[in-house]
Structures are given as structure tokens and as C-alpha cells.
Structure 1
Amino acid sequence: MSGDKCSEENIRQCHELCRQLSNLIAQRVIGQQELIDQILTAFLAGGHVLVEGATGIGRGLIVATLAKAIQGTFRQVYFTPDLTPADLVGREVFIEDLTSGQRRPQLEPGPIFANFLVVRDIPCALPRIQSLLMEAMESGQVTVAGRLRDLPRPFFVLATQNPAIQEETHPLPLEHLDRFLFFLKAEYPSAADEWRIARSAAERPPDLTPIVEVEKWNSFSGLVDQIEFPESLLGYAWALVRASRPRASDSPDFVDRWIASGASTRGLVAFIRATRARALLRGRASVELEDILAVVKPVLRHRISPNEAAQAQAITSDALIDMIMEAVPPNRRYAPPDSSIGAR
């Protein structure tokens, strides 16, 4: 019983911290509350984010403010065609010891050793640079001068891409897209919010006081796995993912007609973790349907690929997700016929 009380208190503390972080960021980035909450959800889940859409709306400022608020380190790097591995991970340099006169190796860390890394225009870098980043995101480690080195905790990447830039780019392959927990669509603020931004442009932003140490944040990292996922909702998430795959026995007829590839098993695991993180962000010990609905598109839109026929009809992955959700309603019971798996 005491363990349950401790868990409930930890959830309450984590929720209150996330609320403070959200409010603090919203003071500096006006009109982007949904984007702020989505980024916080991904960060809480231990995942990474790919963002596409409107530029100049404060995507980097959201991450920079989050870094300052938890006393983490922040860097950003532009993925240009001439970027080298050393520009990202750093290099080993030799420093002369003034006492002995001997030269000893020392790591000169690159931007990837920050807690928070913003990667601008990720498709513009060479594939080998993209692969290097994907490996770091997956393992939390990088190799520098032949030595495997751990990255700091937490380690969070927000990468951006601009679909308007087509020349000399290397679009991320599906296996790389799958490494991102969320794919977010950035939108310009509303007219009212943009008016607020215009009126406050000459004002000095309020001072930023850190609200938690990075070590304390790391202590909350295991809470996501403690969030209960009712079996009925777990079955719904499972059914949505399975319905996205062409040539599957339990997918709707239109899937074969419009979808080239659906969400992977990694995508299902990401879906489950993101849903739990969203419930925790809202201060709840158990997942509710609204949590699934809040993360389904950020989790699945880069994992469901429209085929050529769908693209010719301007059918997007978001539209396909809507169609899948219509074909797979939440008020049914979904589970394999031989399932004996209970809710966690």
C-alpha cells in the first residue's frame, strides 16, 4: 500500500513539474500550447521529435527554454551537405601536459553531447551523418576516435525538415523515420496570438529561473512504465496499428488500395509508451481514451506511407489515419483469439 502511495505522490510531483514547465515555455513561445505539450510528452516518454511545417514560430526556443528550466545543456546544429561526423560528435585532440611535457588525448565534444539537441534541416546532410544521429538516438552512445562514449541523460533530439527544400536533399528512409517517437506538424499561431506576439515584441521576456535539476528529472524517467494501460484500450491501440498494414488479414479493404507500408512493431511500442506519457503529463495513473486520441497522429503519421495511387489523389497519412480510426472504433473489444495477456 505504501508503495502505491509513493507512486501516486511521484505521479503528482511529475505532473506538477510538467505543468510548471509548460507554463514557463508558454510565456516565451506564445500561441503554441499544443506543440509545447506534444514536445513535453515526447520528452517525458524518452523519445525524439521530428517537426515539419511553419518556421520561425519558436520550435528551437521551446527546447532551449526546457533545457534551461531543468538545468540541462543545449546545442543546435545545421545539417548542411558539408557537415562531417566530427562536426556532430566531436574529435579527440592532444593536449600537452605542462608538468611532464607529454601529450595526452582529450575529447573535444561535439554538439551531440548536449542534453538537448536541435537539428535543423535534417534531410540536407549526407546519409552517413543522418545514420550517425539515428544510432545515437537509438543507443544513447556515439563512437569518437574509436572509443564508444555514453551520451548524457536525458538526451533529447528535435529535428526539423522543410518539404519546400527539394534540391540536394536526402529524405529520411522509413527505418530512420521510425526512430522518432513523434512527427509533428507546426502551424502558425492564430490571429489573436500573433497580435499578442506583435504587441509584446519590444518587451523584455521575464527572467527564467530553473525549476528543477536535471538529476531530479531523470528520477521521474521510470514513472511512464508505471502508468496503467487498461486492456480494452491496449487492444484498441493494438488494433489501430495492425489495421494500418497492407495485405494483413485484419486490415480494412482500403488499406491495400492506399497504403504502401504501415506501422511497425516498434511503432506499436512507441504508441503504447507515448500514450502512457501523455496520461502522466495529465497527472493520471491510468490511460484514458483521450490519451490515445491525442498521440495517434504524432505517433503514426510518419509510420504510414501513402502509395502512389494515394499520393495522386492527395490522400495524406493523416487522412489515412482518420479512415483507419473510422474503421476501427474504440467501443469494440480487440484482442487476439488466443490472448491471455492481461492489462498492466
Structure 2
Amino acid sequence: MRARASRVRNTSSFASRRKRTRRRASRASIQSPCVQRLGDYCTTVWRPIGVAGDSSHRWQKYFLILQTNNETQWRHAQMQGWWSALRLEERLQHSVDAGAQLLKIVLLYLLVRFLIARMGRAVVNRLEGMERIAAHKPRIRTLGNLVRSIVEYTVLIVAILMALRAIGMDITPLLATAGVAGLAIGFGAQRLVRDMISGFFLLAENQFTVGEVVTIGAITGVVEEVGMRTTHLRDEQGRMVVIANGDVNLVINHSRKGGVRFNVDVRVAANADLQAAKHILLAVADEVGIAQTLVGVSAFDAASVTLRLTGEVVASEREARELHLKERLLERFHEEGITLV
């Protein structure tokens, strides 16, 4: 009878403990969806550390499957507390999302840059192929490269700002700082900015190009280079003159009127055949390619007569044509037997 009563008490005690375990599991299921599942397998039901709905519960399910005794439960509780405090899963998820956003931004930037370069080359090549603007190929290519560089740098700055925002950085202070720095640089580099803006309009308006003879201020020379900041002239004495584009106010382009005029004087003996000498001057001028020629007596004395040839040539070819003309005149006068003095 005593053994039977003991078995009844043990059975009743086991049933009571089982009911208490299930009630605890039911209350704990509010905080963790995996406790109810594990209640039948654990010696003692453990209430998880954390807040209901926290993303770390997905990791609790993995750890709770391994618990078999109170010692394991305590270690898991300690680990779970550290994990919840560090919030490593959320940080890991944020890093993955930020990396994906950065990858998208980089790919988009490369695609936009490729399209800009491709379209820029296509437009420049098409413009250079047009006959009416074929003479302005250097200017078109310079402007095309300038516009493409401006657009590419703008896209790069936007991509950098998007990348900083994707990794969680607040770009508002950065924009404010950049604005202040831009104002400071603008005040400090006013002359540089003025020169570059003036250079852009010089190229865009085609006021002069390489090879033309121009007068800028008090300086006359052949244009050798037109840059974004400076213009290079070669004066009549062969000196290189560098002028800031911001200082280009008054421009006289001698090449746009059709050419530049020059004079060549030839002294012959007073008893020489002047008509034959004039004929030689006109013939050689036509042979060399000098237009709108005029020949006449510019000076004379008892021993000699000075004949002057006036003509017009393209400004960039003036020196070469003048040298060729003098050489041919000397040969023809010797052939015709006319004495030069």
C-alpha cells in the first residue's frame, strides 16, 4: 500500500511539475516563439533575455535547441545578453545593405560616365564632319573636352555624396562646409575664375583662332595657343607674349578682313627701264600668290628710283610669302639684266 501511495504521489508530483512547466512555457511564448516548441524537451523552461519582436530572436531559436540542462541555459543566457547588447545582427544587416547601395552607386556612376564619354565623342565627331565648321576643329574639340570634364566632375561629386549618405553619414554639415569653403576659394581665386570664364567665351564666340594675326591691347602677333586661362601670341620680333584671358578687352583680328597688307621696296638705277621693272614686280607677285597688288614709285634721286610693291596675303602666311617674293624678284631682275642699287 505504501509503495502504491508513493507511486501515486510521484505521479501526481510529476503531473503537477509538467503543468507548471507548460504554464511557464505558455507565458514565455509571448516573448519567444521557440520556447513553446522546446518546453517538452527542456528540464527547466528558461525565459529568454530580450524584448519581444527583437530581430535577435532568430538567433535565440538556434541556441535554445542546444540547451539540455540548467548550466547550458545559464551560459546561453549570458551569451544572449552580450548579443543583445552588441546588436551585431542589426549592424551586420546594415553593413550588407550599405554595401549593396554602394555597389549600385558605383555601377551607376560608371555607366553614366561611359554614356557621357560616348555621347561627347559622337557629338564632336559629327560636328567636325560638317564642312561649314571643319575649319574650327581645334575649337570644337577643346569645347567638347571642357564640357565633358565639367559634367564628369559633377556626376562624380553627386556619386560621392550619395555614397556617404548610403553608409549613414549625414551630408548636411558636409554640404554647408563645402559651401563656405567654396565661397572662401571663390573670393581668393577671383582672378583665376575670371580668366577661365573669359577663356570659355573666347572659345565659344570664336573671336580668334590659332594662326590668326590679332592685336590685343597694344600687342600685335600671331595666335599660337588659346587656352582656358591664357592666350599665347608670337609678336613680330619672335617673342612669346602670354596674356591672361581676363585682360582681353579690345581685340583687332587682322586675319578676318581677308588678309594683311605689306610693302616691298626695290631700288633700281635711274636709267633702268621702269616699265620692265614694274612688269617683273607684278608678275612675280602673281606667281607667289599675292593679291590686290599695286606698284609705283615711292622715292627717287639722281642715281636711283625706288619702286614699291603693295599686296595682301593671309596673316599667317605673311612672312613666308614675303621671303619667297624677295627671292624671286632678285632672280628675275638678274635674268632681265636690271641693275639693283
Determine which structure has the larger helix proportion and give its number: 2
TM-score by length of 1: 0.21
TM-score by length of 2: 0.21
Rg (Cα) greater in structure: 2
Tell which has more relative contact order, 1 or 2 (C-alpha 8 A, sep 6+): 1
